[in-house]
Amino acid sequence: MIASILVSAAFAADEPCYGHTWDDRISGTQFWVEWDPAVIDADKAQVILEAAEHARDTYRDDLQWGFTGDPVVISVLGPQGGQGFGIAGLTRTADCDDGPHPRIELFVAQYGEQSAVDVISHEVGHVSQYSYMGDYLDSVGSWLWWMEATATWITPYADGQQSTWDTSVDDYVGQPDLALHYGLSGFLDPHTSDHMYGTAWLTEYLDEYEGGPDEVRATWEYGGTVTGAPIFFPDAVNATGVDFDATWARFLAITVSGELDAADGLDLSVPKAADAEELPASGGQDATEGPMGLGFAVVKVGISAGHKKSALHVHFEGDTAVPWHAILVRTNGGVVDYVPLDVGTDGVGDGYISGFDGVDGWLVVSPHSIDEDRHSYSWTADLIDDPGPAAGTVTMGTAPEPKGCDSTGGSAGLFAIGAVLLVFRRK
């Protein structure tokens, strides 16, 4: 017997071009939920349906993201493969006469209402992505990691929950050396798959600092123009009118301090490749342990190494097979300021950050590449007489008062102008 319970007969979804699998099903304005009766009942299906419709309304109407106008079927099935608990989801496309149409599968090992809402909100995010990229396999081939990052980031807009985002972000920040770009093989490896979801930290950065959901959406609009080909993320960012080199420097500075609004209350700590408490110091990583393409390595120069009227000077040398980003950062709880080093084609960069007194210093280095190879680098650091702020210094916060009573020369107090960091709160 067909259990066809319509949310509203007047606004029932059209029939999907790819048909139905299960007789037990209910319909909303755009979504169908159909289910294996051994897995859930009609009440649980109603929760999933309402969450899907709410997520669509939020992404399409509130955030102005693209969305298909075609009916979308959500099939609720038993657990998949070795899935031992919870709810997993998969959103792909089915080919009809007029092209690909998205459909969702939920795999339920153990039903929980909040989990169901979280997962379906994530999967509806993927439905939105296909309005730009088209075919499922084309999207996966282009940037599967960004599919998962964006769906993880957008979910709290619909379900109001940060917990899944929090866990995922820790998986990214805690593995900074891993490559940014991963495809299907990376997805199938739990070590890198968790990292892929955690790049929602980068999505959140674009949201808070580079134009909000419109900027994230713009990367997808660009993706739709090159769908099916591997996409190098800097190309997508540059195509939106945001300078990738500049924004990557700020992203790295913010990451070492955990300074994202959505991360309030999280104890995020980036593993350090080196920790220098005295200067001069030196170090590096070889090709077996250095960062992969657009991964990064962090060197901390502790507050104890600083001195009045001094600047932190660093000499950097990186693997010449790839270009490098290298930035110096000062933090005082949050980011005080940062300065990108000018790294030449020979892999060499040399520079300083002024006012190294009463603050922590950081060197963050990142190879500019789409690859998953590891890249070697070395560095030396020492103190120099402070010549004042270096060209290209970007101020974001406030430095502490200089030690002692001498406020002349290059002391940090002269040029820490106390600019207020403006952030766009997500909620």
Q: If we measure between CA atoms, which residue out of 316, 326, 392 comes closest to residue 350?
A: 316
**Do residues 285 and 218 both lie within one domain?**
no
pLDDT at 3 over 80: no
Instruction: Give the pLDDT mean for 379-395.
Output: 98
pLDDT tens sequence across 9-21: 346 799 999 999 9
CA distance 263 to 51: 25
Q: How many domains does the chain have?
A: 2
- Strand duo 24-27 + 31-35: pairing: antiparallel
User: How far is it, in rounded angstroms, from Cα 108 to Cα 257?
Assistant: 38
Angle at 69 between CA 66 and CA 74, to 5 degrees: 100
The more confident residue out of 399 and 298 is 298
Which CATH number goes with the domain that contains 317?
Answer: 2.60.120.380
pLDDT value of residue 43: 98
| Of residues 371, 374, 92, the one with CA closest to residue 233 | 371
**Same-domain status, 236 and 296:** no
CB 56 within 8 A of CB 129: no
Q: What value does the mean pLDDT take over residues 120-147?
A: 96
395 and 345 within one domain: yes
**DSSP, residue by residue, 51-100:** HHHHHHHIIIIIS------S-EEEEEES--TT--SSEEEEEEEEEETTEE
Q: What pLDDT is recorded for position 400?
A: 86
The two structure tokens encoding residue 192: 């890198």
Question: Does 254 fall in a domain?
Answer: yes
Based on the fold, state whether residues 212 and 316 are members of the same structural domain. Answer: no
CB 375 within 8 A of CB 291: yes
What domain range is 118 assigned to?
Answer: 3-263
pTM of this structure: 0.90
- How many CB atoms sit inside 10 A of residue 21's CB? 14
The answer to whether residue 33 is domain-embedded is yes
Closest CA to 88 of 15, 28, 39: 39
- Indicate whether 232 and 334 sit together in one domain: no
Q: How many other C-beta atoms lie within 10 A of the C-beta of residue 299? A: 25
Contacts of 93 (CB under 8 A, 6+ apart): 100, 101, 102, 103, 130, 134, 135, 136
Is 419 or 345 the better-scoring residue by pLDDT? 345
pLDDT (tens digit per residue) in 406-422: 443 333 332 232 333 33
**Which residue's entry shows tokens 């070697």?**
376
Helix 113-133, helix 136-159: angle, nearest 10: 130
Tell me if 269 is assigned to some domain.
no
374 & 304 share domain: yes
Order the strands of the 377-385 sheet from edge to edge: 281-285, 377-385, 310-318, 348-353
The contacts of residue 157 (CB under 8 Å, 6+ apart) are: 58, 59, 62, 63, 213, 426
The pLDDT value given to residue 265 = 78
Chosen domain end from 216, 235, 263: 263
Confidence at residue 420, expressed as pLDDT on a 0 to 100 scale: 33
- End-of-domain residue from the set 263, 296, 319: 263
Q: Using 50, 70 and 90 to split pLDDT, how confident is the model at 260?
A: confident
Tell me which residue of 353, 363, 418, 358 sits closest to 388, measured CA to CA: 353
DSSP 178: S
Among 205, 234, 263, identify where a domain stops.
263
Structural domain includes residue 312: yes
Instruction: Return the amino acid letter for 417.
Output: I
Q: How confident is the model at residue 405 (pLDDT cuts 50, 70, 90)?
A: very low
**213 and 124 within one domain:** yes
Min mean pLDDT across 52-61, 100-109, 136-145, 157-166 is at: 157-166
423 assigned to some structural domain: no
The β-bridge relationship of strands 3-6 and 24-27 is parallel
Position 1 scores a pLDDT of 28
Q: Quote the pLDDT of residue 263.
A: 84
Q: Round the average pLDDT of the chain to a whole number and report it.
A: 91
Q: Is residue 424 part of a domain?
A: no
Q: Which of 149-153, 189-193, 211-215, 350-354 has the lowest mean pLDDT?
A: 189-193
Q: Rounded to 5 degrees, what are φ and ψ at 153?
A: -65, -40
Give the pLDDT confidence score for residue 310 in this predicted structure: 98
| Dihedral pair phi/psi, residue 250, rounded to 5° | -70, -40
Hunting for tokens 């580079």 — which residue is that? Answer: 210
Q: Are residues 223 and 290 in the same domain?
A: no
Per-residue confidence (pLDDT) for residue 126, from 0 to 100: 98
Q: Are residue 247 and residue 279 in the same domain, yes or no?
A: no
What pLDDT, on the 0 to 100 scale, is given for residue 410? 37
The DSSP line for 9-63 is: GGGPPPPPTT--S-SEEEE-SSEEEEE-TTT--HHHHHHHHHHHHHHHHIIIIIS
Residue 195 belongs to domain with CATH number: 1.10.390.10
Confidence grade of residue 386 (pLDDT, cut at 50, 70, 90): very high
Written as six digits, the tokens of 226 are 């090159």
- Beta strands (DSSP E) in 86-230 are 87-96, 99-108
Query: What pLDDT score was predicted for residue 168?
Result: 87
Do residues 106 and 189 both lie within one domain?
yes
153 falls within a domain: yes
Grade residue 404 by pLDDT with cuts at 50, 70 and 90. low
The least confident of 265-274, 282-291, 359-368 is 265-274
